[in-house]
């Protein structure tokens, strides 16, 4: 094939492109994924009892602050990673900032409580709570991850592993947001460690599948 012919082909009937297409696609992916995660939560385990009582509402607020700040930190990074040439100056470590803040808060909670309460703070409502938290957050994150990957494929990521990681963490944040409504464990160490681990694990999964699924 002659390159000049290809150039003719590509510039024939050229369509103008809208400048905010990437942003809109990513938002659509996040809204779709988040809604799906919420629907899966309602259809499977359902919200916890007494969700609307005052103390539980306060704890839910703290949990949402954590999961949504992960989403809020991660999504602007994703937009940048979808655009070639912007990835170098992206401070991608910012996505871990909410994790650090939560860990510091957890350490403070440990310090201000006696040894005898540590076990309960770590395990949450019951001994199966950590496992339930990990499994459900990862489970709820599956559809958001698929939706985010779909959106990222509209872009042109050049660092696929990094992009997969951040997409995984953001999907984990959306999954954790859905999980908040069914979470029965109201302690800071529980939130920092188990929510954190689950979201970080989603990032790990994203890093594994990113290079294969995000190629273009």
Partner 1 sequence: MEELAYDQERELRALITAGLDGDAEAYHRLLERLTEHLRAYYRRHLARIGHGPAEAEDLLQEVLIAVHTHRHTYDASQPFTPWMHAIARYKFLDYLRRTKSSLKDMPMESAEELTAHSDMGAVESGLDLQRLMSRISSKARIAIQYVKLQGLSVSEAATRCGMSESAVKVAVHRGLRALSLRISEERRP
- Out of 8, 107, 131, 204, point to the residue binding partner 1 (CB under 8 A): 8
Shortest gap between Cβ of 87 and partner 1 (angstroms)? 7
Q: Which stretch binds partner 1 (CB under 8 A): 34-42, 58-66, 150-158, 165-173?
A: 150-158
* Cα R_g (the chain), whole angstroms: 20
Q: Distance between CA atoms of 141 and 177, rounded to whole angstroms?
A: 10
Tell me which of 86, 108, 131, 135 binds partner 1, using CB under 8 A.
86
Q: Is 155 in the site for partner 1 (CB under 8 A)?
A: yes
C-alpha closest to that of 145 among 73, 196, 216, 209: 209
- The reply to whether 2 sits near partner 1 by the rule CB under 8 A is yes
Q: Does 216 bind partner 1 (CB under 8 A)?
A: yes
210 binds partner 1 (CB under 8 A): no
**Residue 87 makes contact with partner 1 by CB under 8 A:** yes
- Which of 46, 50, 61, 84 forms a contact with partner 1 (CB under 8 A)? 84
Residues whose CB falls within 8 Å of the CB of residue 140, separated by 6 or more in sequence, listed in order:
37, 40, 41, 174, 175, 176, 178, 179
Q: Tokens 């703290």, residue?
A: 62
Q: Rank residues 88 and 91 by Cβ distance to partner 1 and give the closer one.
A: 88
* CB of 103 or CB of 156, closer to partner 1: 156
End-to-end, the C-alpha distance of the chain in Å comes to 21
């Amino acid at each position: 094939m002659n390159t000049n012919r290809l150039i003719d082909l590509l510039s024939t009937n050229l369509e103008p492109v809208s400048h905010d297409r990437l942003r809109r696609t990513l938002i659509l992916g996040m809204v779709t994924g988040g809604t799906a995660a919420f629907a899966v939560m309602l259809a499977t385990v359902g919200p916890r009892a007494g969700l609307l009582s005052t103390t539980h509402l306060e704890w839910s607020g703290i949990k949402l602050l954590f999961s949504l700040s992960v989403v809020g930190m991660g999504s602007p990074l994703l937009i940048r990673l979808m655009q070639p040439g912007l990835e170098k100056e992206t401070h991608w470590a910012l996505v871990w900032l909410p994790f650090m803040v939560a860990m510091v808060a957890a350490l403070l909670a440990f310090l201000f409580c006696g040894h005898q309460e540590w076990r309960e703070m770590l395990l949450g409502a019951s001994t199966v709570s950590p496992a339930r938290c990990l499994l459900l957050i990862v489970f709820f994150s599956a559809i958001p991850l698929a939706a985010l990957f779909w959106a990222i494929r509209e872009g042109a990521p050049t660092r696929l592993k990094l992009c997969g990681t951040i997409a995984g963490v953001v999907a984990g944040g959306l999954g954790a947001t859905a999980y908040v409504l069914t979470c029965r464990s109201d302690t800071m160490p529980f939130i920092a460690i188990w929510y954190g681990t689950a979201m970080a694990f989603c990032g790990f999964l994203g890093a594994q599948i990113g290079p294969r699924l995000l190629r273009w």
